[in-house]
Structure 1
Amino acid sequence: MSHVETQTTAAPAAGAQDAGQLRKLVIASVLGNALEWYDFFLYGTAAALVFGPLFFPVGGDPMQGTLLAFSGFAVGFLARPLGGIVFGHIGDRYSRKMTLIMTLTLMGATTFVIGLLPVYAQIGIWAPISLITLRFLQGVASGGEWGGGVLMLSENAPASRRGYFTAWSQMGVSGGFVLSAFAFYLVQKLPEDDLMSWGWRVPFLLSIVIFLVGVYIRKNIRESKAFSQAKPEAKHEKIPLMVLIREHPKALFQAIALRLPENGASYIFFTFSVVYAKHIGIGTGEIISAVTLAMLVEFFSILFWGALSDRIGLKPVYYIGVIGLLVMAFPFFWLLSTGDYGWIMVAMLLGLPFCHGAMIGTQPCIMSDLFPVRVRYSGLALGHEVGSIFSGGLGPMLAVALLMHFDASWPVSLLLMAYALLAWIALRSLPSTNKNNEVSK
């Protein structure tokens, strides 16, 4: 066989291997993100519905118990930057693949154990302490999970289709929510006593299924191409975090600002909206049903927004989401207040698949393009997770506090607009040449 023939037959084989590897990466990323967000959304739903009386019983106003439960929600977000620093360091210096297995294992274990916890009536103050501790560990795992899954796709996908392929990882967010909401929707059908005694535990225990499948797939993926090429240089960076802060502070602040409206809107739309519905006398079942349907639509719309960014650029698509949120901040709650399921559905469809979908579908590419390979994991994880503290972490708790103080939704609408305006400023400072950038700068 001639040298030319060998090259000719080897090229398709290599292409087939790359395509197969990319498919594995897509599945691994989707499952990892699905487990991460299944776990996080479970806590958010449980905090709104059952964790108050079970773990934070306070006499009088039940909203106070709910507020304390949401403080545990915030603890998870406060832990995420720590996870971003720890796993970002490992991912930038040693292995992207290794961090993905570590984060998935920690997330799966902590969620399963939450389903086994005794409640306050059984062990007193140790119940909320145990819950908050596990929530903290969940946050550490989550802080390293998203960046790793995104980078494995971003650094291996064809340059002309990075938006489309990285959007797949974000489908895990919607998929995780749909699974968690469906699980709680079913257990909510149980009698009140059964729900409060054992029913709420079932969704947490079922997370073991996603975990086992995810670990099996992640053990069989290869290291990121871009990281393998840059690894010798990365080894010289003893502390990637210090390089990030010293050389790329502007990019870090841009990433944080871009995260605010996406994460803040999502948690206010599908977590705080349950609390708001209870406050104004609307059945929580209707809200959970509407949110679940909207997130199911978003599951597919994310791919549309990612593919669109490959055609028109990342910034224009992100602008669509930010401007949409500015426009929807007040009408969203007006539509919910009607109590009509049709209008509630309209609010959720505009807020989630449209506004939120446009931002989350393009976020992996637009944020990863901010950082060079040698500090990309650390930059992406830290920017993403610090932004999470001020939006998804503190946002629902602040929204509940504003609702209690003002007895109205307009302060929460202003909070959403503030998030969107900060992202607008960050977008204006980004270069307009991100379209189809090579990821290895």
Structure 2
Amino acid sequence: MTASTSVGSGKAAPMTAEERKVIIASSLGTVFEWYDFYLYGSLAAIIAKQFFSGLDEGSAFIFALLAFAAGFIVRPFGALVFGRLGDLIGRKYTFLVTIVIMGASTFLVGILPNYASIGVAAPVILIILRLLQGLALGGEYGGAATYVAEHAPASKRGAYTSWIQTTATAGLFLSLIVILITREVTGPNFEVWGWRVPFVISVLLLGVSLYIRLQMSESPAFQKMKNEGKLSKSPLGESFGQWKNLKIVILALFGLVAGQAVVWYTGQFYALFFMTQVLKVDAYTANILIAVALFVGTPFFLLFGTLSDKIGRKLVIMLGLLLAIITYLPNTPVSIFNNLTHYANPKLESAMANAPATITVDPAECTFQFNPTGTAKFTSSCDIAKQVMASNSASYSSVAGAAGTVAKVKIGETEIESYSSKGLSKDEAKAKDTAFKKDIRDALNAAGYPTKADPAEINKPMVLLLLTILVIYVTMVYGPIAAYLVEMFPTRIRYTSMSLPYHIGNGWFGGLLPTISFALVAQNGNIYHGLWYPIVVAAVTLVIGSLFLGETKDVDIYAND
């Protein structure tokens, strides 16, 4: 690592009551920022209707998700901008700026006129606000983690920074609870105007967060560097222009953060997507189960952060990756997602076993349906058939047909011919699409494939247990990571250096997980095939991290080189 392995001044004085108060306050402020960020994702379907109503329903939802993804994509740029400021002018003032940008952008989403009121200006302004949110969040995490670690006693850095690690889960949990309460209170008006309430009341959270952060003192490590005149004049140049630092940034990304990100997004986002979109569990039940799992699992962030102070950050994180890889593997007795199907939608499991589906295709006309921008059009009979089967949560196997074969779907004993939309008018394509989807759905119904999970057959205790295990994996890989990243870099460039790999890993490797996993499912035909993306990324991180990363729990974070 880049810092000395002797424990220096960071261990000399235990944390005072005032310092502890400041650290908890900084964590609370970060909860509010994550709350703001996740509101949009949770309400994407409603936002699609409000701001992209000039498009058809499917395209509107895609562009709403694209606007959500934009917040993830720009996070590394926020890390560069605010990381540099944090290393130049201080941790405190930088994330005062980030909280204002995040809070103001979220409030403005709540009062922004919709497409029906101001036309195309509505989605344009919405996307700009999302970009501002992403930039702010890109600067927030590095500042909060660095600030907390630089206040903590050396022997408790994992324990204290693990409070920061709870904030993303707590923010997601808070956003789900506020949405559920608002939906209950506003009833049928929720989709008309009630959805705005969670955004608007975020201004209260902004006020509390801003007040709290104004009371905080500057990080002692930064203040020491400033007093000694040793601040970096070019944090970006030192972090990424010098190989000795750049190689640590690269190792942090591929040997630590990328795997952590896919486990995090699989355990908290993909699990929800899988429950609602694949297993067809109603959204209310799925959200409640996820919220309870998050509530039960959150204390484990603190447990594993504290444990990393005793046995090391690396061991805890790598073990979490290994357990996730083993239990993500589909079609094994310990597969969590196979067991979710068994306990949440047993009729779907039974139908896939008793009436397997196939698609006979010309392989040359099949494409990999990776569509992160939502703008690609898939027009071949193969792609259309695969899309429709995937949207119905129906696993299938592909059979290679002769060149020029029009794709044929076989479900049980029923065979349905697909179609190509090339050269068709909009009305013709729509009519073909409607008829084909109806034929597929009728055949699936006849074969016993359910349109939704039967609430009476959902084994909620077992589903909750499986979801909680997924969250515990998240806490293993995420709880110690703030302390690990802080300890990898010297004080003068710490904010900049740790922020970029963190936000590339979480913003890109994690943020694109739903899109990539859905493309893998559509390509292969198996509803579990999307799990290979987090499995492979986590495995790469496990190998690189195990071989090339050292332990950091005893480093002196006041070291300057």
- TM-score, normalised by the number of residues in structure 1: 0.89
Larger radius of gyration: 2
Question: 1:159: how far off?
Answer: 0.7
Residue 397 (str. 1) matches residue 395 (str. 2): no
Partner residue of 1:55 out of 41, 47, 51? 51
CA distance in 2, matches of 1:60, 1:335: 36
Residue 270 (str. 1) matches residue 268 (str. 2): yes
Quote the residue 2:309 is aligned against. 310
Aligned-pair identity (%): 31
Question: 1:431: how far off?
Answer: 4.4
> What amino acid does structure 2 have at the position aligned with 1:20?
A
Task: Please give the secondary structure, in 2, of the residue aligned with 1:115.
Answer: helix
8 Å CA contact retained: 1:174, 1:299: yes
> What amino acid does structure 2 have at the position aligned with 1:169?
I
Question: 1:318: how far off?
Answer: 0.5
Per-residue Cα deviation, 1:337-362 (whole angstroms, up to 9, x for no partner): 2322233212211111x210011110
| More helix per residue | 1
Quote the residue 2:336 is aligned against. 332
Quote the residue 2:252 is aligned against. 255
Question: 1:19: how far off?
Answer: 0.9
Note the 1:22-37 alignment, pairs <5 A. Answer: 22-37=19-34
Per-residue Cα deviation, 1:260-315 (whole angstroms, up to 9, x for no partner): 23333333443344443134321111211111111112321111011111111111
8 Å CA contact retained: 2:278, 2:527: no
Quote the residue 2:466 is aligned against. 347
Quote the residue 2:16 is aligned against. 19
> What amino acid does structure 1 have at the position aligned with 2:206?
F
Per-residue Cα deviation, 1:189-231 (whole angstroms, up to 9, x for no partner): 3677412111211111122222211211211111111111222
CA RMSD across the alignment: 2.3
> What amino acid does structure 1 have at the position aligned with 2:261?
N
Question: 1:187: how far off?
Answer: 3.1
> What amino acid does structure 1 have at the position aligned with 2:269?
T
CA 1:271–1:435: 2 relative to 1, 3 Å: closer
8 Å CA contact retained: 1:226, 1:373: yes
8 Å CA contact retained: 1:71, 1:397: no
CA distance in 2, matches of 1:193, 1:401: 34
Unaligned ranges ≥5, structure 1: 1-13
CA distance in 1, matches of 2:294, 2:121: 35
CA distance in 2, matches of 1:282, 1:100: 39
CA distance in 1, matches of 2:271, 2:52: 21
Most deviating of 326-335 and 219-228: 326-335
Residue 414 (str. 1) matches residue 532 (str. 2): yes
Quote the residue 1:294 is aligned against. 293
Question: 1:29: how far off?
Answer: 2.0
8 Å CA contact retained: 1:50, 1:196: yes
Question: 1:43: how far off?
Answer: 1.5
Per-residue Cα deviation, 1:237-266 (whole angstroms, up to 9, x for no partner): 332111101221121112223222333333
Per-residue Cα deviation, 1:19-38 (whole angstroms, up to 9, x for no partner): 13322322222112201211
Question: 1:127: how far off?
Answer: 2.2
8 Å CA contact retained: 2:225, 2:231: no
Quote the residue 1:221 is aligned against. 216
Per-residue Cα deviation, 1:74-128 (whole angstroms, up to 9, x for no partner): 2111211111111111111111110121111111111111111222333332222
> What amino acid does structure 1 have at the position aligned with 2:29?
G
> What amino acid does structure 1 have at the position aligned with 2:128?
T
CA 1:327–1:188: 2 relative to 1, 3 Å: farther
CA distance in 2, matches of 1:65, 1:391: 24
CA 1:136–1:190: 2 relative to 1, 3 Å: same
Quote the residue 1:40 is aligned against. 37
8 Å CA contact retained: 1:70, 1:396: no
Question: 1:186: how far off?
Answer: 2.2
Question: 1:133: how far off?
Answer: 0.9
Residue 171 (str. 1) matches residue 170 (str. 2): no
Residue 205 (str. 1) matches residue 197 (str. 2): no
Quote the residue 1:6 is aligned against. none
CA 1:255–1:36: 2 relative to 1, 3 Å: farther
Question: 1:233: how far off?
Answer: 6.8
Quote the residue 2:281 is aligned against. 282
- TM-score, normalised by the number of residues in structure 2: 0.71
Unaligned ranges ≥5, structure 2: 1-11, 345-457
> What amino acid does structure 2 have at the position aligned with 1:348?
L
8 Å CA contact retained: 1:92, 1:234: no
> What amino acid does structure 1 have at the position aligned with 2:340?
L
